[in-house]
Structure 1
Amino acid sequence: MTGEAASLSLDKFLLTQCPSFHKSSTYYPTPYLFNGHLQTGYASMYKEKSPDVNYERELLQLKDGGQLSLDWTKPLNGTQDPSQPIAVVLHGLTGGSHESYVHGVLEKLVQADYRAVVMNARGCADTEITTPQLFNGAWTEDLREALAHVQAKIAPGTPMVAIGFSLGSNILVKYLGEEKEDTPLHAAISVANPYDFLSCNTNLDDGFFSRHVYSRAMSGNLKGLYARHPLMKKHSDIDPAQVMAAKTIRQYDGACTCKVFGYTTVNNYFRDASSARFIEHVRIPLLCVNALDDPIATAKYIPWEEIQINPYVILATTDYGGHLGWFQNLSAERWINQPLAEFIMAMFKAKVTTTCE
């Protein structure tokens, strides 16, 4: 990108290069999904996939003996250009490349002849584990290895933009704060990030509805993932009965996550995992998108001040959207797909020529 756009600050770049984020553009939720709970519930059931998004799987062997899978999108025209910019995608809790929120964004990138790779976490998306370890919100080493692997497979200097959803967005932001200027990524997007694990989980536990619906559902997904991998039962510090008895995220993390990763308490794990502590150290353009009525990634725990003091980070919020919802129109299509794709493609073209002042 040359000329005036090349010297724009991040916020002005967003407004000029991404029409969906302009002040004149407004998100209106689907009439029958008029609050965060309804949007979140519908998102959990919404399974639509794009016929244009197809993958080629690669298994990545990690340094510690573990394994994750990389799902590379197939080009619609049948040819792959190694110098073509690439989006790296991190899914949400127990998700994968099959998720509708992943397909929605990748459809627009693939249709524009761009490519992407989805990093499926250990044990997710039918990826077998090779050690008795899954993942957690604080563990960034797998992402670090995956990015190094992707970078080695593409042409030197090829723009890479990462996008993370929910748990994946927290891992991504924590990683960016740890790496500062040393990441191979040129830009990133955080979507529905919980930021503060301790506060968000306490908030879930304190509410009768949130504890018995959201926390129970997420712990159920985690237990299902644990049960699908018999190798996890071979971890000497884990009591499988205690894991399967968990009814909340906190109980699951106490029975499994803390034991696998050596945390003395659940609170210590939650504190370590919170990307809110790292976001002020991010040194590449980072767009954060959150819905203010998100019942899981609660708005009051967004690190407002830390974002405000970091010129590399910009926060875009919507009044509605729930957790990974953002459905609009009577047909309940995801509004968020277009603005996310706009930012990724704009950053592909701009590379790192925008200023962050």
Structure 2
Amino acid sequence: ILHGLNGGSTEPYVLDLVRRANAANMTAVVLIARGLSKTPLQGEELFTGARTSDVGAAVCALHTIFGDEAMVLNKLEYKTKIVLVGFSMGAIIGANYTAKARESCGIVGNLSFSGTLCGQAMLDSSLPSNVHSHRVWQPALAWGLKATVIKPFLHLVLKRGITTKGVEAIGSVNELDSKLVCAYHK
């Protein structure tokens, strides 16, 4: 299970899925994105929604834990059937992982709730359908992300030449991506 951007393993929608899966005699595993949900960060690579390698590593670990041989590319006959379920940003990351890894993804399915694989049109603030997004929820989400994703690791952000003033000036998710995430991971 891949949680949403500000989520983690304690979100009600995640807990609901875990309970229902367990009741149906299925194992549910939640991958908490690196550094999110107050988890410690090893190294200096912060969360980015563009990174899919963490999902691949988790899928490989699950196959190993549940007794499958080491993941072999293009092998579709695993004993363990893994289905990715992603919510919001987790859905985007899951879809991106599946699209990139294709036959070697190690999963049998991917279910995306409120995710997208191509969000180019959503970046255009001049489109009438995006005016509300850019005025209302983008600033609110950017504020929350700065508090939960950036603030705990501000010391790392500052080491990469991004200033506190620059972080404070960010007012939308688009700006967060273009001015902070891209600059951090360049």
* Aligned AA (2:87): F
2:30 maps to what in 1? 118
Pairwise CA RMSD of aligned residues?
2.0
> Within 1, Cα distance between the matches of 2:131 and 2:105?
41
Which ranges in structure 1 are unaligned for 5 or more consecutive residues?
1-88, 263-357
> Within 2, Cα distance between the matches of 1:133 and 1:240?
19
> Within 1, Cα distance between the matches of 2:88 and 2:106?
22
2:62 maps to what in 1? 150
* 1:91 and 1:164 in contact (8 A); partners too: yes
2:73 maps to what in 1? none
Displacement after TM superposition at 1:205 (Å): 8.2
Structure scoring higher RCO (CA < 8 A, sep ≥ 6) equals 1
The equivalences for 1:38-187 within 5 A come to 89-156=1-68, 157-187=79-109
Alignment CA distance shift 1:234-1:161 (3 Å): same
> Within 2, Cα distance between the matches of 1:154 and 1:258?
37
2:134 maps to what in 1? 211
* 1:169 and 1:193 in contact (8 A); partners too: yes
1:222 maps to what in 2? 145
Displacement after TM superposition at 1:208 (Å): 4.4
Which of 241, 244, 257 is the matching residue for 2:168?
A: 244
* Aligned AA (1:159): K
State the SS of the aligned residue for 1:138.
coil
* Aligned AA (1:118): V
Displacement after TM superposition at 1:234 (Å): 4.4
2:182 maps to what in 1? 258
> Within 1, Cα distance between the matches of 2:32 and 2:126?
26
> Within 1, Cα distance between the matches of 2:161 and 2:42?
17
* 2:3 and 2:89 in contact (8 A); partners too: yes
State the SS of the aligned residue for 1:181.
helix
2:113 maps to what in 1? 191
Normalized against structure 2, the TM-score is what? Answer: 0.84
* 1:204 and 1:210 in contact (8 A); partners too: no
> Within 2, Cα distance between the matches of 1:109 and 1:236?
42
The structure with the greater share of residues assigned to helix is 2
* 1:92 and 1:168 in contact (8 A); partners too: yes
Alignment CA distance shift 1:204-1:154 (3 Å): farther
What per-residue deviation string (whole Å, max 9, x for no partner) do you get for residues 151-176 of structure 1? Answer: 21112211111111111111111111
Normalized against structure 1, the TM-score is what? Answer: 0.46
| Rg larger for | 1
Alignment CA distance shift 1:119-1:220 (3 Å): same
Which ranges in structure 2 are unaligned for 5 or more consecutive residues?
69-78
> Within 1, Cα distance between the matches of 2:45 and 2:11?
23
Larger deviation, residues 235-244 vs 215-224: 235-244
Displacement after TM superposition at 1:216 (Å): 0.8
Displacement after TM superposition at 1:130 (Å): 2.5
> Within 2, Cα distance between the matches of 1:99 and 1:201?
27
State the SS of the aligned residue for 2:28.
strand
> Within 2, Cα distance between the matches of 1:127 and 1:143?
16
> Within 1, Cα distance between the matches of 2:106 and 2:37?
25
* 1:162 and 1:189 in contact (8 A); partners too: yes
> Within 1, Cα distance between the matches of 2:159 and 2:55?
23
State the SS of the aligned residue for 1:118.
coil
* 2:157 and 2:184 in contact (8 A); partners too: no
What per-residue deviation string (whole Å, max 9, x for no partner) do you get for residues 214-248 of structure 1? Answer: 10111112101210224423432322321222110
What per-residue deviation string (whole Å, max 9, x for no partner) do you get for residues 165-215 of structure 1? Answer: 111111111111111111211111111113323211325986443223210
* Aligned AA (2:46): L
2:156 maps to what in 1? 232
